[in-house]
Chains A and B, each alone.
Chain A
Amino acid sequence: MPRRKRRASRTRSTATTASRGSVEVSEADVSFRSMTPSQFFYEYREVAGFGSPSRALYQTVRELVENALDATDVHGILPDIYVAIERLPENPNYYRVTVEDNGIGIDPKHVPYAFGQVLYSSKYRLRQARGRFGLGAKMAILYGQIKTGRPVEVYTSPLRSRKVYFFKIMIDIEKNQPIVLARGEFPNPSRWHGTRVSVVIEGDWPRARHRVYMYMQRTAIAAPYANITFIDPDGNITVYSRKIRKLPPKPKEVKPHPHGVDIELLKQLIKKSGASTLFEFLIEAFQGVGKKTAKSFLEFAGLEENLDPHKLSDKQLEHLARKLREFPKFRSPSADALSPFGPDIIEAGLRAILKPEFVVAVTRRPRAYEGHPFIVEVGIAYGGEIPVSNEPMLLRYANKIPLLYDEKADVAWKVVDPNNFDWKSYLVNFPAPIAVLTHIASTKVPYKGVGKESVADVPEIEQELRNALREAVRRLRDYLLKKLREEEARKRIATFMKYTPEVAKSLATILGPMGVKEEEVREMLLVAMKRRLGLSEDEFSKLVEGLEVSIEE
């Protein structure tokens, strides 16, 4: 099968659905045959985070912001993102959420489907992307449409496009089809590119406020290369300006690894495949499988290489899936699909937002669990404006998006919890001003439960988190140790300098008859002090600069 050209940014969230949400989708097809995906998702909106007006407002913001980031940084564009929440005058519970990006835009042909059809396009390729729920933007549109009856409004202009396109779209829930209410085109002389999406939803700003602000801040920490402007319903403007011009590495698309396969995914892969034999199918569908590996696997599994994959029985499928997971000789999963922040970005983000006195970040080498590659990153910010607390401030990220709920259930908390981690031996004594950022980048983040707000205790991930934390906190300890030593040296110098005049005066008085002068003793004491402290002339003068001593007798 020819590799499909990637679609515009709006569809990428759907691609993620394929990677992580495929099981749910298929089950929906089976169990709720009479429902379209739109109906199904509407029924189960709590799962997607649209259970209450306040949660829905927060969820809408984050889905749109995450799409905006996916449309920019992934494509090598430094993001300029504008977010506004307005309260509509006609109904104080109605809010218009508008998010604009300077991303790659969307081909106008795809716009109605990208916004008006749930499960539009699926691609069984893997790569790391933000979209937690994939369908998120469409859920927001669906939710808004049901609650307020308003369509989504989209302005978009693909890269180098001469025109800006405008759409007003609703979703036909029964048929799962877009309804285009209006469309338009405008000239684009400035060659603006990007997308601006506005949805009107029922929300509850007073209750959502705290979370939305927290989300914006956490997002800004993880995207210091972005300019983000946020206007809240009360007209407050917050600007997070770009601190670094470096972008995270682009994730590449990779085929699934055989260890990460289940029956449903296998079915989907076969359905999309044009291969006529099992042997061809294996090579085509999975990463790191060549002729040799395919052959030795089929021997291992006891399957004929000429079997038509499309004609496998359920029993055979189950056997194949199990053997794929069990075969020990597949190459380790490729980490090419992953896009870690990298230490520079984490450090810049922490520095810009938390204003600490010290930051350090560590990006670990890729590892894998159950066939899914992952990379763990840890950043530490210490001191400065970070408030002192009895436990570390934890900033959790999974695939670059912040996780705000269920912190204490997360494997990251388990690792940084002062009851489990010996902070003391790294010179961190609580209460302390410390923040820990954790990032798990993976083609499949093992979330706990359906809420997808916390990551499960997968031993490989826990181990990597702990290793990363140790690596980072060791550097913090070095810093604290150096600071402690400097403080110690400063304290010693202050003490010695403080008492030097008295000592000099006393010796000069007692030994005056032998010609000893106060000034002379004082000079000699300074020389001895430098020698005693093992300080160079420069270090010494730096430490005593501005130190004044006088005696009131």
Chain B
Amino acid sequence: MVAEYIDAADREARRRALSVFRERFKEIYKQIKMGENPFLMLPKRTLSNTIYDEKRKLLLLGPEKLKRSFFDLHESKKFMQTLLMARIIYEALERDEYPTIRDLYYRGKHTILYRDPSTGRRYEENTWDEQRESDAVIRDIEVFTGLLREEMLILSKEKGKVVGNMRIRSGNDIIDLSRMGHGAYAIEPTPDLIEFIDVDAEFVLVVEKDAVFQQLHRIGFWRKHKAILITSAGQPDRATRRFLRRLNEELKLPVYILTDADPYGWYIYSVFRIGSITLSYESERLATPEARFIGVSMTDIFGDKKTGKKPYLTEQERRNYIIKAKDADIKRAYELMNYRWFQTEKWKREIEIFLDKKSKLEIEALTSKGLRFLADKYLPEKIETGDWIS
């Protein structure tokens, strides 16, 4: 009865996911049937097994595998948790449900009661206690089945927003992203189920800060400069990253990222571009290797004597807007220096200036200088002159 309201894209995704589950878990069943110690072979999701692919410019999972056996004292519980989670997801797929990771946590959390025969004592143990545990198991199932959570119809909170001259189909509806009023389209958790209908834009601008996104939207930045305007509202979620990737890959739109001028801003750019360490297994689908860091860069603030670049800020403005870097910022900058993908000439220069000046700056500083300055001078000029880092 509900089924008739569900669109074909979802149904197809479910059918596919269910069949993958059966295929993959049949292996476990076979092992048990042979009287073997059943195991799940999983790629290791650790920093040491995260590899930066120079050619494709992506963070990928390395070749190290983890054998999670049921009859292994230290792996037994994880094995059980993985199978329990697989069952819950499987059931949700079958029942046309859209659980969130929080839902999955609650559905799988229950108590195992057992009595120790040697002491006669009774114990209670939860299948899992914290969501951290169930979240980790979801990631394991993603790598084990090769299905991303979106493909298993697991939803997460919508965080990213988009506006622009573009029409898409989501479910059974066609949505015109240029007619969102003062609001914006919230990028749905399953961006792969979105169909691009038509688009009239020359580039994509991703703004880290939601407030700056709204300001640019309200003054009609995207109309004037033929842009698709996106905000990730801080660290990007998977849906925003996947959506951006599709815009770049399928519509061949160049992508510019605007963040605060500090190590955290740089890392946000880096997640968009090459993926994150915890989710490196999905970089291939989520990362946008061609994304460009448009700013705010250290050379925008201070200029660069080496290249003769002039700063966008006057001495007086710098005095007003610059924030002194905290110890945590400095520490983070040193960490980033170790990442291979930050070891390009331009990035080295950025970090060098940052460590030298020990200063950071928020995007809002540029809107304070003037929203028009940001929208009509800073951004167009930088795009035009190629003043970005990749």
Interface residues of A (CB under 8 A from B): 490-492, 494-499, 501-503, 505-507, 509-511, 513-514, 516, 521, 524-525, 527-529, 531-533, 543-553
Contacts and interface: CB of A to CB of B under 8 A. Distances in A.
Interface string B307-322: 0000000000000000
18 contacts: A490-B118, A502-B112, A503-B79, A506-B86, A507-B25, A507-B28, A509-B90, A510-B22, A510-B87, A511-B26, A514-B22, A514-B26, A525-B32, A528-B36, A529-B71, A546-B115, A546-B120, A548-B114
Contacts of A549: 112-114
B110 A516 contact: no
A552 B109 CA distance: 10
A516 B73 CA distance: 26
A342 B118 CA distance: 34
Contacts of B114: 494, 497-498, 547-550
A529 to B, nearest CB: 6
B25 A503 contact: no
B110 A528 contact: no
B77 A510 contact: no
A528 B76 contact: no
Nearest to A551: B112
B77 A499 contact: yes
A84 to B, nearest CB: 44
B193 interface: no
Nearest to B69: A532
A492 B72 CA distance: 8
Contacts of A532: 37, 71
Contacts of A514: 22, 26
Given A499-B80, A506-B86, A547 B29 contact: no
A501 to B, nearest CB: 8
Contact of A494 (B25, B91, B116, B120): B116
B83 A547 contact: no
A524 B35 contact: yes
Contact of B22 (A492, A513, A524, A533): A513
A511 B84 contact: no
Nearest to A553: B110
B38 interface: yes
A506 B84 contact: yes
Given A510-B22, A510-B87, A544-B117, A521 B32 contact: yes
A550 B112 CA distance: 6
A507 B27 CA distance: 10
B87 A505 contact: yes
A521 B118 CA distance: 26
Contacts of B384: none
Given A510-B86, A551-B112, A527 B35 contact: yes
B127 interface: yes
A507 B83 contact: yes
B144 to A, nearest CB: 12
Contacts of A490: 118
B22 A503 contact: no
B26 to A, nearest CB: 6
Given A524-B32, A547-B116, 9 more contacts: A494-B116, A499-B70, A503-B38, A503-B83, A506-B25, A507-B25, A507-B29, A510-B90, A525-B32
A441 to B, nearest CB: 41
A529 B127 CA distance: 21
Nearest to B127: A502
B76 A496 contact: yes
B327 interface: no
Given A492-B73, A524-B32, A528-B71, A509 B87 contact: yes
B105 interface: no
Nearest to B78: A499
List the 10 closest pairs (A to B, CB-CB), nearest first: A546-B117, A499-B80, A506-B87, A506-B83, A532-B71, A548-B115, A552-B111, A549-B114, A553-B110, A510-B25
B16 to A, nearest CB: 15
A85 to B, nearest CB: 44
A525 B70 CA distance: 10
A506 B21 CA distance: 11
B371 to A, nearest CB: 55
B345 interface: no
A536 to B, nearest CB: 15
Contacts of B356: none
Contacts of B55: none
Contacts of B70: 496, 499, 503, 525
Contacts of A501: 112
Contacts of A553: 110
B137 to A, nearest CB: 12
Nearest to A503: B83
A317 B28 CA distance: 92
B173 interface: no
A529 B79 CA distance: 14
A273 B132 CA distance: 94
A528 B36 CA distance: 6
A527 B91 CA distance: 28
Given A521-B32, A524-B33, A496 B71 contact: yes
Nearest to B71: A532
Interface string B1-36: 000000000000000000001100110110011011
